[in-house]
Amino acid sequence: MRLFLPAALAVLLASGCAASRPPPPPPPGGLAPAPVVTAPSAAAASELSRLRAAPPSAPPAKSAEAFEKLARTWPTSAEAPEALDEAARAWLRARQPARAAADWAELLSRYPLSPRAEEARVRYGLAEVEAGRPRLGMPTLQSIWDQTPEARRGNLALRIADAAEGAGNWPLAARWRAEAIPYLPAADRPRETARVLDVVATRLSPQEVEALAAELPRDGAVGAALAARAVARTQAQAGVVGVAVPLSGKFKAWGEAIVQGVTLALPEGGPVRVVTQDTRGEPDGAAEAVAQLAAQGAVAIVGGVTNAEAQRAAAAAQQEGVPLLSLSKVEGVTEGRPYVFRLMLTARAQAQALAELAVERRGLKQAVVLYPEIPYGTELKTAFASEVEARGGSVVRTVGYEGDRANFAPMVKELVGRSQVERRADWREIQKAITKEIQDPYRRAKALEKARKELAPIVEFDVVFVPDFARSVTLLAPTLAAEDVVTACDPAEVAKIQKVSPWVVKPVLLLGGNGWDDPAIVEKAGRYVECAVFVDGFFAASERPDTKRFVEAFQKVHARPPSILEASAHDAAAMIGAAMARGVTGRKEMRDAIASQKPFPGATGEVVFDAKGEPVRSLFFLTVDKGAIREMRPEELSGAPAQAPAP
């Protein structure tokens, strides 16, 4: 039976088969030292005995260091290679296989004739594999395998498989466990066969299953089972699309909204059949739903919406080899998963759009972030700061507050330098001048009170970003205005403010995330949010043709406007349906079609996916204009902010 190894290792292993005895591995740090001639040492032997007599409860790392010290203190003693071997074993007990491999490598390089060398070769190779470095350990193990009698090959292969499992290298573990089976006693073969198939079912990606099935002979139990499983895992029924969403529990309304969006794109009675599975909004439920839909032959799946279920749904889809268009905003859900694509607005996408507008298009370099200390706020705050700095701007101040805060006055006063005016040099000068000029205590107090009210706000920023929801924004925006933070963009309005201000007015740009897309913003904050800019992944009142068509069609069926959930689900399903209409029937072909598609015109805008499966598209830039939320015009997105006239 041939050895089944990944192609990348085959080249490395080829050179290891040539010599009758494998050369010792080089030490990690450089060239191998010359072999050492040893002789027994009474002092070294005494120290070795003392260290071996240490209680089992001694920390293994400390024991390893002590054995290493012995080997370096008496390097020419016959006990030195024994000490290195003991040190390496102790490092393994300390769960540091890389340190163990280094000691065995030193033993093989310096003491190749030691009685410990033969077993050290095996242990060195296993330690490198366990340390996650199979390219270093496998050539040695391959050479040993070539010389191992058949009676001992089964045990060696299982040791290699165990080391690979310890490193999480499941493809390598499955190959070596399969390699062991023919050399094991007949009674042990069913157990190891079951273990291989369990690894295949729970740990390997579809691509890894296919590769393993192609390499194993199909006349064996493992090879035949793998071949059947590889075919089953890539089979899809023509015209079946799965939907994995919560249809029960507290997120049931989300699931129902997604189903409505999907069925509008793929109506019942058409060439595509939509099959739904309830995830319950739970991690296990999501994994089960994806597996069930894959078993029912779905060519692709829409779902994975809640934060709790997103990662498990994505992992299950990758494991099953079925494309998933995730509707989750959780960061990293597509990372390392070529079968997973995201079609939902994320904090990163919002931050990129807002930072590009403020810093790159309008040249505003200094930002303040006022954020609620809740996941939504902290995620957007972190992403925005990163994007601003990447474009040459800076976040000069971040101020967090409670998610249910109702009084923002102290926070804003402190932001603009009006809470502790005694610390301001300009106030101290004003106070000094008034005190010197006015002797009457009453008149002096009135003058100081008037001067305090007219003290200019310190506005050392040109952007205020508030990643919060409507409730807080409607309280915070008026407070900014009360402390003379001017957010107006109309030159005439700015000029009017300047006329009544004893200081030079500096307008700032007020920014928000998709939490601002709420009628309550204009109903309760009114003029205080005029000119503010915020983004969303969907805007039902947009004049974009594809968005408008979707909204009209949805309202005709459901008698209400759609949200971003229905729109994103519709686009995901429409994308899958368009690929199927072009003749795509298999899961891999569907994955490739989605990954390489041209900009797809949808309700949420034209979208393509980057190499990580993340959406690339233009978000909806929104503003408040004359008491209403509207989408911004292209020329507004590149225009400069209003400037105050000279006083």
Cβ atoms of residues 587 and 324 within 8 Å = no
Per-residue CA distances from 536 to 332, 351, 398, 533, 541 (Å) = 20, 11, 23, 10, 12
Q: Read off the DSSP letter of residue 645.
A: P
Contact 329, 380 (CB under 8 A): no
Q: Tokens 């002096």 map to which residue?
A: 444
- Give me 416's structure tokens: 């603009």
Residue from 341, 288, 333 nearest 306 by CA = 333
Q: Mean pLDDT for each consecutive 10-residue tract of the chain (647 residues)? A: 38 33 51 76 96 91 96 96 97 95 94 93 94 90 89 92 88 89 90 84 74 72 65 67 96 96 93 94 93 91 94 91 94 92 94 95 95 95 96 95 94 88 81 86 85 82 95 95 88 86 87 95 91 95 96 96 96 96 91 94 95 94 93 82 42
Reported as type and span, the H/E element at residue 109 is helix 97-110
C-alpha 608/C-alpha 322 separation (Å) is: 19
pLDDT recorded at residue 635: 87
Q: Buried b vs exposed e over 356-374: b needs ≥16 C-beta within 10 Å?
A: ebbbeebebbbbbbbbbee
What's the confidence (pLDDT) of residue 590? Answer: 94
- Token representation of residue 54: 């240490």
Determine the distance from the C-alpha atom of residue 392 to the mean position of all C-alpha atoms in its chain, rounded to a whole number. 24
Q: Which CATH architecture has domain 346-418+455-536+617-647?
A: 3-Layer(aba) Sandwich (3.40)
The answer to whether the predicted template modeling score (pTM) of the entire model surpasses 0.75 is no
For residue 550, give the 3-state DSSP assignment.
helix
- Annotate 7-42 with DSSP letters as a single string: HHHHHHHHGGGSSSSPPPPPPTTSSPPPPPP-B--H
The answer to whether the CB of 94 falls within 8 A of the CB of 124 is no
Q: Determine the CATH number of domain 7-30+41-233.
A: 1.25.40.10
Q: Measured between alpha carbons, how far is 481 from 410 in angstroms, rounded to an integer?
A: 14
* Among 244, 206, 208, residue whose Cα is nearest residue 569: 244
pLDDT at 229: 61
CA 332 – CA 288 distance, rounded (Å): 21
DSSP label at 275? E
**What are 341's strand-pairing partners?**
325
- Domain regions of the chain by residue span: 7-30+41-233, 235-344+550-613, 346-418+455-536+617-647, 420-453
In this chain, the answer to whether the domains covering 235-344+550-613 and 346-418+455-536+617-647 adopt an identical fold is yes
Instruction: Give yes or no for a contact between 531 and 510, defined as CB atoms under 8 angstroms apart.
Output: yes
3-state helix, strand, coil in the chain (%, to 5): 55, 10, 35
Residue 311: CB atoms within 10 A of its CB come to 20
Beta-bridge partner residues of 151: none
pLDDT at residue 538, rounded to an integer: 96
Q: Calculate ∠ Cα 21-23-24, nearest 5°.
A: 125
Q: Which two tokens stand for residue 319?
A: 């494991």
Helix (H, G, I), strand (E, B) or coil at 52: helix
CA distance linking residue 62 with residue 51, whole number of Å: 11
pLDDT for position 232: 56
What pLDDT was estimated at residue 25?
60
At 556, give phi and psi (nearest 5°): -65, -35
Three-state secondary structure string covering 228-276: HHHHHHHCCCCCEEEEEECCCCCCHHHHHHHHHHHHHHCCCCCCCEEEE
d(CA 362, CA 317): 42
Cβ-proximal residues to 583 (8 Å cutoff; 6+ apart), any chain: none
Q: What angle do CA 612, 617, 623 make, to 5 degrees?
A: 135
| Whole-number pLDDT of residue 23 | 54
Q: What is the pLDDT of residue 612?
A: 93
H or E stretch at 609: strand 605-609
Which architecture, in CATH terms, is 235-344+550-613?
3-Layer(aba) Sandwich (3.40)
Tell me which amino acid residue 132 is: G
Residue 431: closest CA among 442, 447, 419, 417:
447
Q: Which residues pair with 242 in a beta bridge?
A: 275, 301
pLDDT at 581: 93
Task: Return all residues near 243 (Cβ < 8 A) that are at least 6 apart.
Answer: 258, 259, 262, 274, 275, 276, 277, 293, 301, 302, 303
**Shortest CA distance to 182 belongs to which of 158, 210, 147?**
158
For 573-612, b/e burial (b = at least 16 CB within 10 A) is: bbbbbbbbeeebeebbbbbebbbeeeebbbbbbebebeee
3-state secondary structure 360-393: HHCCCCEEEEEEECCHHHHHHHHHHHHHHHHCCC
pLDDT at position 12: 30
